[in-house]
Structure 1
Amino acid sequence: MSAMKKYTAEGLGTFALVLFGCGAATIAGVSATGPSGLGLLGISLAFGLAVVAMAYTIGPISGCHINPAISVAMCVAGKLSAKDLIGYVIAQCIGAILGAAILYVIATGSAGFEMVPWSLGSNGWGEGYLGAYDMKSAFITEFVFTFLFLMVIFGTTAKKASPQMAGLAIGISLALIHFVAIPITGTSVNPARSIGPAIFAGGIAIQQLWLFIVAPLAGGIFAALLRKVFVDD
């Protein structure tokens, strides 16, 4: 498989994840002050099902990382080259930004839409954001749930695992993570997914973006280092 085809697949997959997941949150589901419409269950399933759909669409091409935390963890685990890591992360971030751009264009077409703090499904914490959890809770949430997410990925893609079920298991685990983490941070566990919406939301979403880069990357690296305790890969 050519490198450019893999990078394009990663960009497309991340584009779809942001458009489906953040789109559900923005248009039909949840604001920074609380859930409405689809609510927490619907938003969680939107993100999880987006991963399932993309896993079976681009998985055979690129492995369907669509998340820099996954790509970095795979590189640390020796499953992705440094060259591909750079290509994957750039493509993922571009895809996320394009997904957020399309979502912005669609959302602003509604007369009732207003760009408020943490718009377009941006991640955040603190006063005014969903459950108003503090930075400590937000960091722990993103670190721990990214760690658990990567453990699922390492386990379901191990040699003795069933490859046909990997996409479904990974998507379900992401939905489960959203069930718990949405009220705390809006759920990132994916730096690219956070970067896209934050660029358009600006303000406090940009100021808080660092946490949604650092914590997921640290959680993913921690999983890569500890995986052999739990997984025979």
Structure 2
Amino acid sequence: GVTIAFALTGKMKKYEIIGYLISQCIGALIAGAFLLLLYDKTTGLGTPTLALGTTTVLQGFFIEFLCTMFISFIIFFTTTYQSHKEAALPIGLAVFSSFLVGADRDGAALNVWRWLGPAVASQTFKYYSWIYIAGPIGCSFNIDVHTQEH
């Protein structure tokens, strides 16, 4: 979500974006492989899942979308200044609070790669897995629209 938001708003060069996305994908897959070495794949390896019965697919999508958007806005606006020293605390608090909101409802992936690595390694693909891709990526387009207005 954040990398795509930076791409859409022109805050990163195209070759940097491609490098980031490839690195994030490879890192997620390697991390998933390490999880598979450490744990039995029947555990799901930490793959985010919906709390079915209490959270609908649509609610899960909006949790992913809104929490990722919140984190992305914080990252976007705290890293556009000259000094990034002040960015750590607000970003950490945003991630922590988003995790508290989504962890027991949809697993709080908040990032495509956070879902992809364990999902591929454990072969855990559910009918609602699209929310972990569409939510974070969808929020990127929303950030682009909002930042273009200002």
Does the pair score TM above 0.5? yes
1:77 corresponds to 2:9 = yes
Among 92, 95, 115, which residue is 1:194 paired with?
115
For this pair of structures, how many residues does the alignment match?
Answer: 150
In the other structure, the counterpart of 2:58 is 136
Among 119, 142, 147, which residue is 1:222 paired with?
142
Alignment of 1:89-168 (within 5 A): 89-108=21-40, 115-116=42-43, 119-125=44-50, 127=52, 132-159=54-81, 162-168=83-89
AA matched with 1:218? G
AA matched with 1:91? S
Instruction: Decide whether the 8 Å contact of 1:104 with 1:120 is kept in 2.
Output: yes
Quick one: higher RCO (CA 8 Å, sep 6+), 1 or 2?
2
Bigger CA radius of gyration: 1
Displacement of 1:228: 5.7
Unaligned runs of 5+ in 2: none
Displacement of 1:176: 0.9
Among 86, 91, 94, which residue is 1:173 paired with?
94
Instruction: Decide whether the 8 Å contact of 1:195 with 1:209 is kept in 2.
Output: no
Deviations 1:13-45 (A, max 9, x none): xxxxxxxxxxxxxxxxxxxxxxxxxxxxxxxxx
Displacement of 1:107: 2.0
Among 209, 220, 231, which residue is 2:129 paired with?
209
AA matched with 1:92? Q
- Compute the RMSD of aligned alpha carbons: 2.0
AA matched with 1:105? L
Distance in 2 (CA, whole Å) between partners of 1:227 and 1:184 is 29
Percent identical pairs in the alignment equals: 27
TM-score (norm 2): 0.88
Distance in 1 (CA, whole Å) between partners of 2:56 and 2:51 is 5
AA matched with 1:144? L
Distance in 1 (CA, whole Å) between partners of 2:120 and 2:97 is 27
Instruction: Decide whether the 8 Å contact of 1:126 with 1:135 is kept in 2.
Output: no
Instruction: Decide whether the 8 Å contact of 2:31 with 2:117 is kept in 1.
Output: yes
Displacement of 1:103: 1.6
Displacement of 1:221: 2.1
AA matched with 2:38? I
Distance in 2 (CA, whole Å) between partners of 1:204 and 1:132 is 20
